[in-house]
């Protein structure tokens, strides 16, 4: 399997793909090793993960360079991702022992009762390419701390990073019989689904997530899905600084080359400030630097996958063909690499794919609304339910909007952020289950009730 640099279209590596037999062998190793890992005190497992966290810092130069080479994200954002991953790991280090400890719920009377938390067993972690460290540590870190074995399949667009993760986990003391990497494309994922695993954790598209859920449903084991979004943002007419809000919104659209599940994908602006907001947003967009992701002045690098540029251009063409106006960008850049100019469109509506279909790139439509009620109606007009943001001077007014939105996360005066302390979850086509917070620790264990008499 060739690894392609999306900025240059050069082959930067070749990785052997797993076969069905090699996947079976890796599963066999985990079946042998996982019980011994689970028998260790949780403090010893936490110690291994603490060393892994430190290695991410020690080797950050190499890790960030690899990440930028195979995904195309600006180099400083690769460093940011590593910093964020270490922060999330620290949350698990600080809180896992508490949430995995046995709980005495009845301590008096004839029968005492307690709850203990046992590992699921061996789980599949089918991960994503856009944030391979951040979405990866959401799963394999609490899974390992909880005593599980992990079959980790990195995306074919982030395979070299996945191999770095394996190397550093082993160096940190995690046994080979506890963590195995499966390399390959869709076929490798299908082989994982055929194994008698104890849980399946996937990050990616709704279409693939649904297929996975259907495939493993008969096994009656946990199947957790972190899927996509079409995340809305609403700017109320009472904001104090339109220019600052436009800048924050732009960052939410284009960060990581627009390839974030919780990126801002559609914007609604109150008619009283609509023109001023659009003018500011467009002016700031035109200052964004698109180019070599290794250049420290670059804001936006290439898209990670070759077909995604054509998909975005089709969305833009559909919108323009239905009456939208393209104010800036929206064209492929000449030369090598999967580059596309960041784009903003106005005069948009929900008859256009741009406003209803996940984009996953630095492209957005801005729609005028007359009041909060219209904003709520349009924000809710989606099959997705990941995040939604409201900018307003008044929290009370913003809260009335946020309470009406069927999403796993809402933001007031911020957007496109994830915190380890609260659950990360999607609704509707955005997924099932939660990672992060104490719920993301308990997601990888199963409760056992003890009734103790005598």
| Residue 262: active-site member | no
Q: Distance (Å, rounded) from C-alpha 136 to C-alpha 47?
A: 19
Spell out a b/e string for 22-43, using b for 16 or more CB atoms within 10 Å of the CB, else e. bbeebbebbeebbeebbeeebe
| Residue 20: active-site member | no
Quick check: helix, strand or coil at residue 234?
A: strand
Spatial CB neighbours of 408, under 8 Å, sequence gap ≥ 6: 385, 386, 387, 423, 424, 425, 426, 427, 430, 431, 434
Q: Closest Cα to residue 102, out of 160, 47, 45, 41? A: 41
Q: Closest Cα to residue 305, out of 64, 68, 6, 73? A: 6
Name the catalytic one among 261, 265, 358, 415. Answer: 261
Spatial CB neighbours of 135, under 8 Å, sequence gap ≥ 6: 127, 128, 203, 226
Backbone φ and ψ for 299, nearest 5 degrees, come out as: -95, -35
Q: What is the DSSP letter of 340?
A: B
Instruction: Provide the terminal-to-terminal Cα distance of the chain, rounded to the nearest Å.
Output: 61
- 371 alpha carbon, distance to own chain's centre: 32
Name the catalytic one among 226, 265, 358, 415. Answer: 226
CB 364 within 8 A of CB 246: no
Q: Closest Cα to residue 47, out of 231, 137, 151, 172? A: 172
Q: Closest Cα to residue 123, out of 93, 143, 94? A: 143
Consecutive H or E run containing 384: strand 384-385
**Where does residue 150 rank: exposed (0-12), middle (13-18), buried (19+ CB within 10 A)?**
buried
Structure token pair of residue 304: 């990670």
CB 362 within 8 A of CB 342: yes
CB 172 within 8 A of CB 51: yes
Active site residues: 226, 261
């Amino acid at each position: 399997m060739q690894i392609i640099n999306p900025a240059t279209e050069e082959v930067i590596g070749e990785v052997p793909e797993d076969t069905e037999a090699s996947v079976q062998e890796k599963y066999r190793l985990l079946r042998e090793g996982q019980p011994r890992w689970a028998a260790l005190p949780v403090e010893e497992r936490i110690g291994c993960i603490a060393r892994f966290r430190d290695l991410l810092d020690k080797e950050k130069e190499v890790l960030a360079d690899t990440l930028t080479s195979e995904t195309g994200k600006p180099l400083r954002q690769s460093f940011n991702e590593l910093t964020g991953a270490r922060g999330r790991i620290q949350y698990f280090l600080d809180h896992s022992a508490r949430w995995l400890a046995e709980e005495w719920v009845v301590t008096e009377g004839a029968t005492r009762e307690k709850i203990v938390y046992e590992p699921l067993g061996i789980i599949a972690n089918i991960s994503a390419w856009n944030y391979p460290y951040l979405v990866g540590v959401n799963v394999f870190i609490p899974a390992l701390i909880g005593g599980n074995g992990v079959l980790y399949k990195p995306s074919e667009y982030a395979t070299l990073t996945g191999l770095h993760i394996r190397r550093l986990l082993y160096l940190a003391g995690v046994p080979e019989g506890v963590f195995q990497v499966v390399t390959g494309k869709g076929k490798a994922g299908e082989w994982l689904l055929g194994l008698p695993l104890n849980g399946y954790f996937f990050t990616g598209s709704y279409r693939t997530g649904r297929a996975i859920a259907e495939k493993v449903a008969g096994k009656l084991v946990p199947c957790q899905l972190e899927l996509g979004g079409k995340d809305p943002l609403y700017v109320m007419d009472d904001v104090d600084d339109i220019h600052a809000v436009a800048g924050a919104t732009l960052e939410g659209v284009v960060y990581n080359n627009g390839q974030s599940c919780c990126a801002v994908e559609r914007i609604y602006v109150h008619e009283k400030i609509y023109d001023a907001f659009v003018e500011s947003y467009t002016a700031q967009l035109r200052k964004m630097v698109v180019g070599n992701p290794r250049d420290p002045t670059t804001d936006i690098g290439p898209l990670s996958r070759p077909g995604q540029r054509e998909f975005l251009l089709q969305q833009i063409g559909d919108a323009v063909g239905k009456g939208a106006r393209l104010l800036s960008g929206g064209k492929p850049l000449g030369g090598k690499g999967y580059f596309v100019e960041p784009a903003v469109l106005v005069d948009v509506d929900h008859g256009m794919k741009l406003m209803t279909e996940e984009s996953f790139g630095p492209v957005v439509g801005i729609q005028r609304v007359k009041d909060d009620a219209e904003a709520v109606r349009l924000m809710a007009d989606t099959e997705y339910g990941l995040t939604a943001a409201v900018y307003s001077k008044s929290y009370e007014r913003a809260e009335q909007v946020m309470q009406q939105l069927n999403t796993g996360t809402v933001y007031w005066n911020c957007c496109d952020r994830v915190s380890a302390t609260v659950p990360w979850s999607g609704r509707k086509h955005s997924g099932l289950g939660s990672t992060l917070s104490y719920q993301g620790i308990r997601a990888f264990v199963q409760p056992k009730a003890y009734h103790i008499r005598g």
